[in-house]
Structure 1
Amino acid sequence: MKASILTIGDEILIGQIVDTNSNYLADYLDKLGFEIVEMLSVSDREHAIKEAMQRQQDRVDLVVITGGLGPTKDDLTKQVFCSYFEDVLVEDAHVFAHVKTLIEGYFKRPISELNRKQALVPSKATVLFNPLGTAPGMMMQKGKTHYVSLPGVPFEMKGIVSDALTPVLKEKFTLRFNVHKTVVVYGIGESLLAEYLSDWEDGLPAEVQLAYLPSRGRVRLRLSSSGTDKASIEAKLDQLIAAIPANVKAQIRAYDDLSRSEVVIEKLKTAGKTIACAESCTGGRLATLFSEKEGASAFFKGGVVTYATQSKIDLLGVKKETIEAYSVVSEQVACEMAERAREKFKADIAVATTGNAGPSKGDSQVAVGTVYVGITSKHGTFAVKYELGQPRDQVIERAISRALELVYNEILKK
């Protein structure tokens, strides 16, 4: 089964908003067994929408469209559907009753003609009820291709997908399962990893696809297969992952598609340990990563951002003599920052960052890109120096990545 995703809106094409709908729908359709062959964004113009729909005719089994269902003059999707399917708009009584209740009951104002237009749908369409808004979705077929139109508002679109679209798709298609298993490997580059896995990869069954997905400091290995028996597919992929060579397995940090911070958080939870942060050059980003997860209070004790030199003295209690002797960006200061944070927050582990992210040296005595990460726990205190280059945002991202790796290794200590 093949599917395409079409998003409508000039606001997408000019970069005014980020198209998150395509990402959500791709994940949703993939899990139902569809092969996504294309994602396309077009303008609000009638000819652009119609041309995009014609392009998919009999090429795919399903086209999911978002956007253009509002009541204003630039919302043309229903008009295009009527033209494309040679149909006319009619008022849906159920939708109108919902719109009337929403406008008069919730917004406390009389329903207008523009509001009433929301209840108009093509007469031949399957209406996909929208409980969270006024614009219903709709589904129509031409040839072998089913066209689904959904509101562009993400939370409304998702509500229709889960409540109304899924049952319809299950009725019209024999759904398969696309199963993906992801292994996250740290500390081995993509080329070297491929070399280590060469024999293992050669032994993979033909129905299993392997993808290397590199990013900064890690490579995700994604194994994929499809079929009608989800449990057997998952078991097969698990067996293949278990057979990964030992030298690679030693560098696996997660058996799921987790970010580096999520890997560390899971390890903290499993180990029953707590952490605190003292940050300078990373500006509270580490604390944000720890605190944004649900249940963070179980493992994250707190953090302090001491960006200015004096704040390191006043808030953390770093000795002025240490800063004067070694400079604010130094191994000694990173260690003191970590130790004071651990004491202040009574954490098992504390991590500290101090560095010069650039673009200029400022009052720092070290080169741009120099960062020290300090770690302290019951096992002792140490700091590691990194030369992280430029530009500024990359220095900060790399510093966070290095800090998380050091924290991970500290958690593993018995």
Structure 2
Amino acid sequence: MNKIYASIITIGDELLIGQVIDTNSSWIAQELNKAGILVKNRVAVGDNREDIWQAIDDAISKSTLVLITGGLGPTADDITKPLLCDYFGGKMVMDQATLDHVTYIFKEILRRPMIERNTLQAQVPDVCTVLKNEKGTAPGMLFTKNEVKVIAMPGVPHEMKWIMHNHVMPLAAQWFNSGYIEHRTLLTAGIGESFLAEQISSFETALPSHIKLAYLPNYGMVRLRLSAWGNNQTDLNKELDNQFNQLKNNVLEYLVTDKDEPMEMVIGHLLKQKNQTVSTAESCTGGYIAHLLSKHAGSSTFYTGSIISYANIIKEQLLDVPHETLMTVGAVSKEAVKQMAVAVREKMNTDYAIAVSGIMGPGGATEEKAVGLVWIAVASKNNVVTKHFQFRFDRERNISLTAINALNMLRAMIVDNS
């Protein structure tokens, strides 16, 4: 059984200038991975004929399957379809089934007149196999060159996904005996990527060639992912589980979870298991911790709410921080966040509370307190833990690092109270 490699090409000037985020290639890669197909490369190109042509050339030279999205619409900048016609040596013809489908959409669904530009959506190269798009007017198209399958799909995500589910993946299952790809992912916190790599270097060196270790750092955390490829899924999973257990033992001190899930979901699981709750008092993060805790379905069972005390007057009036504290040691202090955490926990009647106060930048620093200084407090009924950090990045990253460290302190407290 040979490894099957795929290339993904996304087309559109809007992708290159950052006006639109390319979520298509990420989603496609995940679907291919589930089918045991390895993604060789992903490339985004603008609406430029030479660049698209070169991208297709490159993809065909290194892959068995090439998936293209974008540039199939009815406007002048949608050049993918005529380019593919030239590339594969065909001529444009009207596909009657597609024309009937486009006519139906305009007449019965949109209830709008259909102009000639819309009719052109039904024209396809005569050298392709048409893949019906029930979610839109631009059909998918299948080409073959040098035994490489090339499939073009619309860039509209829900249309692309429909074609992937209903055409591409079933066809790939017929064409390829691609084996299996399995993954295991864990999350660490409290150790940097380079130090983590040093700690597990012996483990990484001893991995067999068909199992790869990836480091995925992000804002104070590092995910470690083991990926394995093989022909026998049962044996592969058994071997991968064994290696994953070894990896976990190597990073046990910093292990947050052995699942591929974010910190806030880990906390949610812990609190749900204990039927406990948490509240937050946020100054410098402005509600970002509340956003993280409430972004997943079911969070209302463990997260009650937040007091966003950005101004000192709110810290005084709603969180009972003494005016004297704010005048002497200031809002960014151990004393302030400790009182904030105690007050919000009591006022919201939760088992735990988080409080943060800091200087996120670029302004706000003093001679005593630099940009990036943050105090965090985590409180339970019987204990309050405080810690200060000195971050050194821009405002956005400092806010993210504050939130993640606060959540990790909460996680540690919950685990210690188990």
Report the CA distance shift for 1:245/1:8 in structure 2 as closer, same or farther (over 3 A).
closer
Among the aligned pairs, what percent are the same residue? 38
Report the CA distance shift for 1:129/1:317 in structure 2 as closer, same or farther (over 3 A).
farther
Displacement of 1:246: 3.9
Q: 2:336 matched to which residue of 1?
A: 333
Which amino acid counterpart does residue 243 of structure 1 have in structure 2?
A: Q
Q: 1:264 matched to which residue of 2?
A: 267
Question: Structure 1: which 5+ residue stretches go unaligned?
Answer: none
Tell me the SS of whatever aligns to 2:362.
coil
Displacement of 1:363: 8.3
Aligned pair partner of 1:17 in 10, 20, 43? 20
Relative to structure 2, which stretch is displaced further, 207-216 or 342-351? Answer: 207-216
Task: Say if 2:91 is the partner of 1:85.
Answer: no
Task: Say if 2:293 is the partner of 1:290.
Answer: yes
User: For residues 303-322 of structure 1, what are the structure 2 equivalents within 5 Å?
Assistant: 303-322=306-325
Displacement of 1:242: 1.7
Which amino acid counterpart does residue 300 of structure 1 have in structure 2?
A: Y
Tell me the SS of whatever aligns to 2:247.
coil
Q: 1:51-81 CA distances to partner (integer Å, 9 max, x unpaired)?
A: 3223333432111111110011221212112
Tell me the SS of whatever aligns to 1:57.
helix
User: For residues 321-400 of structure 1, what are the structure 2 equivalents within 5 Å?
Assistant: 321-361=324-364, 366-400=369-403
Report the CA distance shift for 1:369/1:196 in structure 2 as closer, same or farther (over 3 A).
closer
Displacement of 1:31: 2.4
Aligned pair partner of 1:66 in 69, 72, 81? 69
Displacement of 1:290: 0.7
Q: 1:164-209 CA distances to partner (integer Å, 9 max, x unpaired)?
A: 2111111122232211111222223334333433443344333222
1:9 and 1:44 in contact (8 A); partners too: yes
Displacement of 1:270: 3.1
Report the CA distance shift for 1:363/1:245 in structure 2 as closer, same or farther (over 3 A).
closer
Which amino acid counterpart does residue 143 of structure 1 have in structure 2?
A: N
Q: 1:28-54 CA distances to partner (integer Å, 9 max, x unpaired)?
A: 222222222222222223333223223
User: For residues 177-326 of structure 1, what are the structure 2 equivalents within 5 Å?
Assistant: 177-244=180-247, 246=249, 248-326=251-329
Q: 2:162 matched to which residue of 1?
A: 159
2:40 and 2:62 in contact (8 A); partners too: no
Report the CA distance shift for 1:181/1:115 in structure 2 as closer, same or farther (over 3 A).
same
Q: CA RMSD in A?
A: 2.2
1:356 and 1:364 in contact (8 A); partners too: no
2:11 and 2:45 in contact (8 A); partners too: yes
Report the CA distance shift for 1:198/1:122 in structure 2 as closer, same or farther (over 3 A).
same
Report the CA distance shift for 1:181/1:247 in structure 2 as closer, same or farther (over 3 A).
closer
Displacement of 1:280: 0.3
User: For residues 34-183 of structure 1, what are the structure 2 equivalents within 5 Å?
Assistant: 34-183=37-186
Displacement of 1:372: 1.0
Displacement of 1:211: 2.4
1:58 and 1:143 in contact (8 A); partners too: no
| Aligned equivalents of 2:61, 2:207: Cα separation in 1 | 34
Report the CA distance shift for 1:99/1:245 in structure 2 as closer, same or farther (over 3 A).
closer
2:219 and 2:400 in contact (8 A); partners too: no
2:85 and 2:127 in contact (8 A); partners too: no
Q: In the comparison of the two structures, how many residue pairs are matched?
A: 414
1:91 and 1:120 in contact (8 A); partners too: yes
Displacement of 1:320: 2.5
Relative to structure 2, which stretch is displaced further, 242-251 or 84-93? Answer: 242-251
Which amino acid counterpart does residue 119 of structure 1 have in structure 2?
A: A
Tell me the SS of whatever aligns to 2:251.
helix
Which amino acid counterpart does residue 403 of structure 2 have in structure 1?
A: I
Q: 1:235-265 CA distances to partner (integer Å, 9 max, x unpaired)?
A: 2211112233745223211112222333333
Report the CA distance shift for 1:223/1:140 in structure 2 as closer, same or farther (over 3 A).
same
Relative to structure 2, which stretch is displaced further, 84-93 or 131-140? Answer: 84-93
Q: 1:349-380 CA distances to partner (integer Å, 9 max, x unpaired)?
A: 11011112222236896332221111111232
Relative to structure 2, which stretch is displaced further, 235-244 or 206-215? Answer: 206-215
TM-score (norm 1): 0.93
Runs of 4 or more off by more than 4 Å in structure 1?
362-365
Relative to structure 2, which stretch is displaced further, 392-401 or 51-60? Answer: 51-60
TM-score (norm 2): 0.92
Report the CA distance shift for 1:298/1:277 in structure 2 as closer, same or farther (over 3 A).
same
Which amino acid counterpart does residue 405 of structure 2 have in structure 1?
A: R
1:327 and 1:365 in contact (8 A); partners too: no
Relative to structure 2, which stretch is displaced further, 255-264 or 395-404? Answer: 255-264
Tell me the SS of whatever aligns to 1:288.
helix
Relative to structure 2, which stretch is displaced further, 364-373 or 83-92? Answer: 364-373
Which amino acid counterpart does residue 170 of structure 2 have in structure 1?
A: P
| Aligned equivalents of 2:341, 2:362: Cα separation in 1 | 25
